[in-house]
């Protein structure tokens, strides 16, 4: 009789141990699900970001590409000459007078789109859409939507 | 007496085994459920698709940013599209080209006004600076894609 009672207690203990184990396993599964979702999950959000970035980049890139080919008639060495915006950017690096014309033209073209136009000598790739203008020095033009 | 004790022990053993089997089923079931949840999610790629369609239109109408031809035929020859699943409104200054199912445009407006609809189309609005005879012009695009059964 004594043996049977002890066996019953042992069985109850084992059952309790297994139940605690079961709860821990269930908790671990939930924790792993939450962690994996936050690390690799939420694909909907990522796809939305990808679509927005793709759309913004398309607009900036194609608009800048078109504008760089636009012709402008300006006075160079006393003569009126027709040059492209890309040429004007090169000239603006030599003579600050052309920088003013360049800024005016950029503002006239891109202000309605809420774009920010800038030229730089940096080689690093930043945000927005960039083009390199062939020249002796590094000239990079960058178009980016204003934040 | 001996036989009775053995029966009880057998019953206890069976109960413990069932409990362990239940844990095993729970663990395997849990893993399968998590993996299924991750891999069976439906991805809405229509926004990306709309962006790709917009790029195709611009490359077709104004390759390299310079306006070539702006007419219905050019767009139709540019890429194949199902008029029931897509709506495209392309405007260049005063010229306007419209293709596809215009009800999708209404649904896009409804989304803007936060009207409750079960499935909205993917709506995209873009503006491009293009050159026409060396003059800067704005090309406006409005694209709506339904494709609820396909790309959602």
- The residue among B9, B25, B41 that closes a domain is B41
Look up the domain containing A137 and give its range.
Answer: 43-145
- Binding-site residues on chain B for chain A (CB distance < 8 A): 5, 8-9, 12, 15-16, 19-20, 22-23, 26-27, 30-31, 34, 37-38, 41, 43-45, 47-48, 50-52, 54-55, 58, 62, 64-66, 124, 126-131, 134, 136, 138
For Cα atoms B139, A44, B102, give the angle at the middle one, nearest 5 degrees.
40
| ipTM score for this prediction | 0.72
Partner-chain residue, chosen from A54, A59, A65, that has the shortest CB–CB distance to B127:
A59
Q: Are residues B91 and B131 in the same domain?
A: yes
Residues B146 and B85: beta-carbon distance below 8 Å: yes
Look up the domain containing B23 and give its range.
Answer: 1-41
Residues B104 and B50: beta-carbon distance below 8 Å: no
Q: Are residues B58 and B107 in the same domain?
A: yes
Q: Are residues A94 and A136 in the same domain?
A: yes
Q: Are residues B114 and B77 in the same domain?
A: yes
Q: Are residues B95 and B62 in the same domain?
A: yes
Q: What pLDDT digit, counting tens, does each position of B11-66 carry?
A: 777 777 887 788 888 888 888 887 787 777 777 888 888 999 999 999 999 998 99
Provide the pLDDT for residue A8.
Answer: 67
Q: Are residues A71 and A103 in the same domain?
A: yes
Cα separation, B98 vs B76, in Å, equals 11
Q: Are residues A138 and A83 in the same domain?
A: yes
> What is the number of structural domains in chain B?
2
Q: Are residues B9 and B68 in the same domain?
A: no
| Per-residue b or e along B90-99, where b marks 16 or more CB atoms closer than 10 Å to that residue's CB | bbbeeeebeb
Q: Are residues A2 and A50 in the same domain?
A: no
| Chain A positions in Cβ-Cβ contact with residue B13 (cut-off 8 Å) | none
Q: Are residues B100 and B27 in the same domain?
A: no
Q: Are residues B125 and B57 in the same domain?
A: yes
Q: Are residues A5 and A53 in the same domain?
A: no
Task: Compute the nearest-CA separation of A23 from chain B (Å).
Answer: 10
Q: Concatenated DSSP letters for B21-66?
A: HHHHHHHHHHHHHHHHHHHTPPP--HHHHHHHHHHHHHHHHSGGGB
> What is the number of structural domains in chain A?
2
Find, in chain B, the residue whose alpha carbon is nearest to that of A114.
B127
Phi and psi at residue A77, to the nearest 5°: 50, 45
| Per-residue b or e along B41-69, where b marks 16 or more CB atoms closer than 10 Å to that residue's CB | eeebbbbbbbbbbbbebbebbbeebebee
Extract the tokens encoding B104.
């999708």
Q: What pLDDT digit, counting tens, does each position of A54-82 carry?
A: 888 889 899 999 999 999 998 888 888 99
Q: Are residues B95 and B132 in the same domain?
A: yes
Q: Are residues B101 and B132 in the same domain?
A: yes
Q: Are residues B135 and B79 in the same domain?
A: yes
Highest mean pLDDT, choosing among A4-13, B8-17, B106-115: B106-115
Provide the pLDDT for residue A42.
Answer: 56
Task: Find residue B131's DSSP bridge partners.
Answer: B66, B136
Helix/strand/coil for B82: coil
């Amino acid at each position: 009789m004594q043996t049977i009672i002890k066996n019953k207690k042992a069985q109850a203990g084992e059952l309790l141990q297994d139940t605690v184990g079961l709860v821990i396993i269930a908790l671990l599964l939930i924790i792993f699900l939450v962690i994996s979702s936050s690390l690799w999950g939420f694909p909907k959000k990522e796809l939305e970001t990808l679509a927005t970035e793709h759309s913004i980049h398309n607009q900036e890139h194609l608009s800048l590409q078109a504008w760089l080919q636009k012709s402008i008639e300006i006075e160079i060495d006393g003569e009126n000459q027709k040059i492209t915006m890309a040429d004007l950017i090169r000239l603006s690096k030599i003579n600050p007078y052309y920088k003013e014309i360049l800024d005016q033209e950029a503002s006239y073209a891109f202000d309605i789109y809420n774009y920010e136009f800038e030229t730089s000598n940096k080689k690093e790739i930043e945000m927005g859409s960039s083009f390199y203008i062939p020249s002796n020095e590094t000239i990079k033009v960058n178009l980016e939507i204003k934040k | 007496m001996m036989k009775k004790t053995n029966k009880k022990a057998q019953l206890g053993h069976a109960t413990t085994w069932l409990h362990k089997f239940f844990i095993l089923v729970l663990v395997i079931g849990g893993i399968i459920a998590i993996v299924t949840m991750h891999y069976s999610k439906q991805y809405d790629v229509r926004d990306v698709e709309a962006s790709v369609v917009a790029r195709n239109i611009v490359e077709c109408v104004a390759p390299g940013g310079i306006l070539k031809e702006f007419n219905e035929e050019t767009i139709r020859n540019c890429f194949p599209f199902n008029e029931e699943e897509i709506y495209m409104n392309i405007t260049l200054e005063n010229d306007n080209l419209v293709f596809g199912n215009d009800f999708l445009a209404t649904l896009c407006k409804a989304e803007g006004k936060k009207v409750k609809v079960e499935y909205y189309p993917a709506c995209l609005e873009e503006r491009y600076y293009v050159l026409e005879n060396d003059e800067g012009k704005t090309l406006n695009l409005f694209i709506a894609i339904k494709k609820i059964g396909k790309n959602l």
